[in-house]
Chain A
Amino acid sequence: QVQLQQSGPGLVKPSQTLSLTCAISGDTVSTNSDTWDWIRQSPSRGLEWLGRTFYRSDWYNDYAVSVKSRITISPDTSKNQFSLQLKSVTPADTAVYYCVRSHNWNFDYWGQGTLVTVSS
């Protein structure tokens, strides 16, 4: 059974960097068959896919156009986890952030969610 455990601060100041980590159990971040994604949810924007990291003989990333200039998703194979960094946040980035496994073109396992509030 795959489990995703999120960690990170729930409050970030405007203009700073949002950082979250997702620890994986029951699967491996360097698997060739899955991708490791971040999705956020807010009342104003609904569910929004942010990006992913995945291994296919090398590491790759894809990012949503809306955050491409500010986002980094990176794997940590030594700890079997992956992380999200979102720079220069504004109150519009306030949302519940989920780490998610994508397997066979669907999101089958989700982390518990982290409410991140951007406020001074």
Chain B
Amino acid sequence: QSALTQPPSASGSPGQSVTISCTGTSSDVGGYNYVSWYQQHPGKAPKLLIYEVSQRPSGVPDRFSGSKSGNTASLTVSGLQAEDEADYYCSSYAGSNNFWVFGGGTKLTVL
């Protein structure tokens, strides 16, 4: 069982927006602004989408955005495109005992 809780699935039609949640505790998501989001296509390694809650690495479209409120972080994908269909994982720093924890992943389907 993963330390962070994500919905197992989400879906939306092309052009729509979808938000994926990631719920932790005050020891991880709520305690640090080191929440990241990763996109993983089948058979590929995860790819960094969002870091430090809401920052986008260069090359990541601004359709992807992140936020946090309390112990829950969120990833929003706007203007859904077919290539956004993938698994999405959140991660958070969890202090010097547990270091890094992950969510169980959300499979995003573009209808």
Contact = CB atoms under 8 A, between A and B. Distances in A.
B46 A47 contact: yes
Contact of A105 (B34, B46, B47): B34
B98 interface: yes
Interface residues of B, number: 24
B99 A106 contact: no
Nearest to A66: B98
Interface string A80-120: 00000000000000000010000011111011110000000
Contacts of A37: 100
Contacts of A46: 2, 89, 102-105
B102 A106 contact: no
Q: Is the interface of A mostly helix, strand, loop or mixed?
A: strand
A49 B38 CA distance: 14
B36 interface: yes
Contact of A106 (B2, B52, B97): B52
Contact of B45 (A62, A105, A111): A111
- Using C-beta atoms within 8 Å of the partner chain, give the interface range for chain A: 10 to 19
Interface in B71-107: 89, 91, 93, 96-105
Contacts, number: 54
Interface string A56-89: 0000001011000000000000000000000000
A52 B104 CA distance: 21
B57 A107 contact: no
B10 interface: no
Contacts of A113: 45
B34 A107 contact: no
A12 B99 CA distance: 28
B18 interface: no
**A46, A47, A48, A112: which has the most chain B beta carbons within 10 Å?**
A47
Interface of B: 2, 34, 36, 38, 45-48, 51-52, 57, 89, 91, 93, 96-105
Interface of A: 37, 46-49, 52, 62, 64-65, 98, 104-108, 110-113
* Closest 3 pairs between A and B when the two form their complex, measured CB to CB: A106-B51, A110-B45, A49-B100
